[in-house]
Amino acid sequence: MKEKIEEIKKLALEMAEKAKDSKELENLETKFLGRKGELTQILRSLKDLAIEERRIIGPLAQKLKKEVEELVAEKMKEFQASSFKLQSKIDITKPGKKIHGGHIHPLNKIEKEIRDIFLSMNFSVVEGPEVETDYYNFDALNIPKDHPARDAWDTFWLKQSVGGLFARPDSQGKSGLGLKTPDKERKLLRTHTSPMQIHYMQTHQPPFQIIVPGRTFRYEATDASHETTFGQVEGLMVGEDVSLANFKFIIEKFLTRLFGEGVEFDFRPNYYPFVEPGVDVYMKWQNKELEVAGAGMVHPEVFRAVGYDPYKTQGFAFGFGLNRLAMIKYKIPDIRLFNSGDLRFIKQF
């Protein structure tokens, strides 16, 4: 029995020495100390031994049990420590890699803000088509075919026969390709959001107040404050006695909400065929005066075009340049940045 214990001791030490991982240690533990383990069996058989023998073998077996347990525990610790060392080559305190989300384009950002401001003033938000006809973009807005004011809106005309795009720099209905289409139906990319005034009034009766955010297009040379594709926010409020004072109030509220108390702006007279009187709204941008909106009291001819009685109807309209508002609000130095696709620009928002 004594020899058996010596043998177990030798074997256990040897196995512990050779163990390469915690799994092997566990095997060793089961082999000797498990329920059917060799040492366990010896301990269990102590009761069958003669008393003298039990006195010698008992303590020996107990001591060995303790030794094996301690050895296994110690080895186990070593393994854990080295496996931690392995893990710690990966620096778990290092901040994770940043996942880059998208950015909201400044035009979308400011448009959302503008929508919210007008919604809070009980305006509705409507949208309309980017491809318009001559009639909606011009005629119905009191800009008949030979009206010199047409020159203020250099237009991308759509080629009717092919469906492609080409620009017609003159306002006389002469296309570069000599095509002739019924004037009122000629298609174009809207040069402003004002045609939505007509669509809306044709399908609704006053009183109402709406804004129309959307993209607009001009066949124009670009510079720091001019783009061929830009955003506008049209406004239209019509009722029986809507006045210029109401207009000024709404604009003041709007600009104060968008830019904060103390915002500086002013109104200056200007001519637009679809309003009388007509005004522009100016603000400061890079120490220059920048026109941010055209506006005015809706012209009686426009009311006539949609079947309203101009003697019983009054209203104001405005059209803000969305990019220009964003340029002032976010201090953007060049309007061409908006459509540049330059991520360094977009990532700032």
For the chain, strand residue ranges (E) read 124-125, 131-133, 156-158, 165-167, 187-189, 208-217, 229-239, 265-269, 275-285, 288-298, 314-321
Catalytic residue among 186, 192, 299, 324: 192
Number of H helices and E strands in the chain, helices first, is: 11, 11
Nearer to ligand DAH, 61 or 283 (CB): 283
131 classed as catalytic: no
Report in angstroms how near the CB of residue 293 gets to ligand DAH at its nearest.
Answer: 7
Q: CA 157, 108, 265: angle at the middle one, nearest 5?
A: 90
Nearer to ligand DAH, 168 or 192 (CB): 192
Report in angstroms how near the CB of residue 298 gets to ligand DAH at its nearest.
Answer: 7
157 classed as catalytic: no
Q: Which residue has the tokens 């977009």?
A: 346
Catalytic residue among 232, 306, 324, 326: 232
Report in angstroms how near the CB of residue 338 gets to ligand DAH at its nearest.
Answer: 17
Nearer to ligand DAH, 75 or 192 (CB): 192
Catalytic residue among 19, 72, 302, 317: 317
Strand partners, 188: 132, 157
Catalytic residue among 12, 153, 209, 299: 153
Instruction: Classify residue 109 as exposed, middle or buried by CB count within 10 Å of its CB (0-12, 13-18, 19+).
Output: middle
Report in angstroms how near the CB of residue 349 gets to ligand DAH at its nearest.
Answer: 25
Report in angstroms how near the CB of residue 340 gets to ligand DAH at its nearest.
Answer: 23
d(C-alpha 141, C-alpha 282), whole Å: 23
Nearer to ligand DAH, 38 or 301 (CB): 301
192 classed as catalytic: yes
Measured in degrees and rounded to the nearest 5, phi and psi for residue 61 equal: -65, -40
Report in angstroms how near the CB of residue 274 gets to ligand DAH at its nearest.
Answer: 6
Distances (CA, A) of 271 to 70, 164, 282, 295, 328: 98, 33, 15, 9, 24
226 classed as catalytic: no
Nearest CA-CA partner of 195 in 138, 142, 237, 154: 138
Nearest CA-CA partner of 298 in 171, 172, 191, 206: 206
Catalytic residue among 16, 61, 275, 298: 275
Cα four-point dihedral sign 33, 39, 42, 43: negative
Residues in the chain: 349
Nearer to ligand DAH, 28 or 279 (CB): 279
153 classed as catalytic: yes
Measured in degrees and rounded to the nearest 5, phi and psi for residue 47 equal: -65, -20
50 classed as catalytic: no
Nearer to ligand DAH, 93 or 203 (CB): 203
d(C-alpha 244, C-alpha 289), whole Å: 23
Catalytic residue among 150, 168, 190, 218: 218
Instruction: Write out the residues near ligand DAH by the rule CB under 6 A.
Output: 192, 194, 234, 272, 274-275, 278, 294-296, 317-319
Report in angstroms how near the CB of residue 294 gets to ligand DAH at its nearest.
Answer: 3
Return the active site residues.
Answer: 153, 192, 218, 232, 275, 317
